[in-house]
Amino acid sequence: MTDLIKIAVDAMGGDNSPNKIIEGVLLNHKSNKNVFYKIFGDEYKINNLIDGKINKEFYEIIHTTEVVKSTDSPLEGAKRGKNTSMWLAIESVKKKETDIVVSAGNTGALLVISKLNLKMIENIDKPALSALWPNKKGMSVVLDLGANIECGSKNLLDFSIMGASLYTSLYPGDKPNVGLLNIGSEELKGNEIIKETYQNLNDKKSENYNFSGYIEGNHLMDGNVNVIVSDGFTGNVALKTAEGTANFITSELKKAMTGSIIGKISTLLNFSNLKKFKKRLDPRLYNGAIFIGLDSPVVKSHGGTDYIGFSNSLDVCHRIVKGNLIEKIKQNI
């Protein structure tokens, strides 16, 4: 068990928990036999779902019936105390009993409880919420996605280093291209903070990433830049816009392909290509936002995802630990 990557799992957060959480663990275990799952939640419910389906050397259940509710404000979630499944899961990382924590629960509460329990990495002022986005050539890391509404140039510089470190942890051997999300690609565009960050990144030559300048919203999916940096306000708007656009395209395509006889025939003829298209836009495959800047990584699974999405967030956890994310950030900062 000492050689296994240990993931702390909040089993009680998100829709249809703990059912989808445990189904996600079982699915993940099929492809990851070097992971130990430390599961926090209602032991009686969890046992009924997991008992006999996975060897007991690969998991442990820490019993608690107290949970952070999805309707709680971040402060209310934290005030529920130290016996909630979320708090205990994060605390296990603090105590070095586990390597990383994942929860599909209340995002605001997760960020607050994480900050209460875990120290910041030295020389980093603010943590950032990052996630993976598909692009034409593969995947991009995007941050900040809402943890910090206001950011200075120092914060954006830190995000660039952390984002590049995350990318190389997930995709070893690839040197990422970092871009600043802006309203134009010319040097004179943007506010003073963006311009100052541009100069700092341009002057700071790094062996760990290439600085590619500004990137506009309509080029996020091109794949020429694979670490996209912004403040949390802009990043969150970009994220919601991208999600809404993807949902609109898939729903409209579904209507067109099933709304008439010609559409149905066309669907049958193009079934293989449509299946690939649908898979490419499936948000479950990119599930797992990463809260970075703290001395232990925290992963947020989407509350509304299913067990396939949660399994993918567990896979992100595995890759982060295996890729030594925290050590990479400390070295690069």
**Domain total of the chain:** 2
Asked whether residue 12 falls in the same domain as residue 152, the answer is: no
For the chain, report the end-to-end CA distance as a whole number of angstroms.
Answer: 32
pTM of the model: 0.84
Question: Are 309 and 248 members of one domain?
Answer: no
Q: How far apart are CA 226 and CA 231, in angstroms?
A: 17
Question: Tens of pLDDT along the chain (333 residues)?
Answer: 558 999 999 999 988 999 999 999 999 999 889 999 999 999 999 999 998 899 999 999 999 999 999 998 989 999 998 999 999 999 999 999 999 999 999 989 999 999 999 999 999 988 999 988 888 888 899 998 888 888 999 999 999 999 999 999 888 888 999 999 998 877 777 789 999 999 989 888 788 899 999 999 888 888 899 999 999 898 888 878 877 777 787 777 677 667 667 656 665 656 566 566 556 556 666 677 899 999 998 999 988 888 999 999 999 999 999 988 888 888 887
My answer on whether 119 and 4 are in the same domain is yes
- Examine the domain organization and report whether 229 and 312 are in the same domain: no
Domain that holds residue 191: 125-285
- Asked if residue 177 and residue 80 are part of one domain, the reply reads no
In this predicted structure, what is the pLDDT of residue 239? 79
The DSSP H or E segment spanning 214 is: strand 210-215
**In the prediction, which pLDDT does 276 show?**
65
Q: Are residues 316 and 225 in the same domain?
A: no
Does residue 133 share a domain with residue 279?
yes
Same domain for 118 and 164, yes or no, is: no
Q: Are residues 280 and 131 both part of a single domain?
A: yes
pLDDT score of 305? 85
Query: pLDDT value at position 264?
Result: 64
Judge contact between 70 and 16, C-beta under 8 A: no
Whether residue 191 sits in one domain with residue 117: no
